[in-house]
Chains A and B, each alone.
Chain A
Amino acid sequence: MTTTAGLTKADFQSTQETRWCPGCGDYSILAAVQGFMPELGIPPERVVFVTGIGCAGRFSYYMNTYGMHAIHGRAPAVATGLAAARDDLSIWIVSGDGDALSIGGNHLIHALRRNVPIKILLFNNRIYGLTKGQASPTSELGKVTKSTPAGSIEAPVDALSLALGAGATFVARSIDRDKQHLPDVLRAAAEHPGAAFVEILQNCPVFNDGAFDHVADKQQAAEHRIPLVHGRPIIFGTEQEQCVVRAGDGSLRIAAAADVGREAIVVHDAHRHDPSLAFALSRLGDLSRGPVPIGVLRSVPTPAWGEGLVAENRRAHAAAGDAELDALLSAGDTWSVA
Chain B
Amino acid sequence: MGVTRRRKESRERVIVRFAGDSGDGMQLAGGQFTSATATVGNDLVTLPSFPAEIRAPQGTLAGVSSFQIHFASRDIATPGDTPNLLVAMNPAALQANVGGLEPGTAIIVNEDAFSKRNLMKAGYEDNPLDDDSLEAFQVTRVPMTTLCQRAAEAVDGASSRDAQKARNLFALGLVCWMYDRPTDGTETWIAQKFGGQPLVRDVNLAALRAGYTFGEATELIGARIEVAPATDIPPGTYRNVNGTQTTSMGLVAASVKAGLPLTLAAYPITPASELLHTLARRRDFGVRTVQAEDEIAAAGIALGASFGGGLGVTATSGPGMDLKAETIGLAAMLELPLVIVDVQRAGPSTGMPTKTEQSDLLLALYGRHGESPVPVVAASTPGNCFDAAFEAVRIALRYRTPVILLTDLFLANSSEPWRIPSAADLPRIDPAFARHDDPDAPFLPYARDEVGARAWAIPGTPGAQHVIGGLEKADRTGTISYDGVNHARMTELRAAKVAGIEVPDVVVDADEGARVLVLGWGSTAGATRAGVRRVRDRGLPVARAHLHHLNPFPANLADVLRRYERVLVPEINSGQLAQLLRARYLVDVISHTRMEGQPLLAGAMEQAILEAMPA
Contact = CB atoms under 8 A, between A and B. Distances in A.
Interface string B243-262: 00000010011011001110
A64 interface: yes
Interface residues of A, number: 69
Interface in A47-93: 48-51, 53, 60-61, 63-71, 74, 77-86, 88-89
B276 to A, nearest CB: 14
Nearest to A2: B462
Nearest to B466: A66
Given A325-B253, A325-B423, A333-B240, A84 B470 contact: no
A167 to B, nearest CB: 13
Contacts of B459: 45-46, 48, 66, 82, 86, 89
B125 to A, nearest CB: 46
Contacts of B26: none
B310 A77 contact: no
B283 A313 contact: yes
Interface string A103-143: 00011011000000000000000000000000000000000
Contacts of B537: none
A98 interface: no
A331 B423 CA distance: 13
B290 A82 contact: no
Contacts of B182: none
B424 interface: yes
Contacts of B283: 312-313, 316
B304 interface: yes
A324 B263 CA distance: 19
A317 B213 CA distance: 50
B261 A314 contact: yes
Interface residues of B, number: 73
Q: Give the most central of B263, B285, B297: most A CB within 10 Å.
A: B297
A109 B239 contact: no
Contacts of A250: none
B301 A80 contact: yes
B479 interface: yes
A329 B471 CA distance: 42
Contacts of A64: 465
Contact of A334 (B234, B238, B249, B424): B238
A45 B458 CA distance: 9
A74 B324 CA distance: 11
A60 B327 CA distance: 18
Contacts of B304: 50, 77-85
B462 A71 contact: no
B16 interface: no
A336 interface: yes
A14 B464 CA distance: 12
Contacts of A40: none
A291 interface: no
B312 interface: yes
Given A43-B462, A70-B469, A333 B39 contact: yes
B463 A2 contact: yes
A258 interface: no
Contacts of B460: 45-46, 66, 86, 88-89
A107 B293 CA distance: 7
Contacts of B463: 2, 45
A110 B286 CA distance: 23
A67 B468 contact: yes
Interface in A257-315: 306, 309-310, 312-315
Contact of A317 (B255, B312, B469): B255
Nearest to B297: A77
Interface string B393-428: 000000000000000000000000000111110100
Nearest to B311: A85
A82 B285 contact: no
Nearest to B464: A45
A328 interface: yes
Given A70-B300, A78-B303, A81-B312, A109 B286 contact: no
B256 to A, nearest CB: 5
A88 B462 CA distance: 13
B334 interface: yes
B284 interface: yes
Contacts of A2: 462-463
B300 A326 contact: no
Contact of B308 (A51, A85, A106): A85
Contacts of B39: 333, 335
A16 B479 contact: yes
A96 interface: no
Contacts of B327: 71, 74
A71 B368 CA distance: 14
B114 interface: no
Contacts of A78: 300-301, 303-304, 307
Interface of A: 1-2, 14, 16, 43-46, 48-51, 53, 60-61, 63-71, 74, 77-86, 88-89, 106-107, 109-110, 306, 309-310, 312-318, 320-326, 328-338
Given A53-B470, A60-B467, 19 more contacts: A45-B461, A67-B469, A80-B290, A81-B303, A81-B305, A84-B290, A86-B310, A107-B300, A110-B297, A310-B288, A312-B286, A316-B286, A320-B256, A320-B285, A324-B285, A332-B239, A333-B35, A334-B237, A337-B235
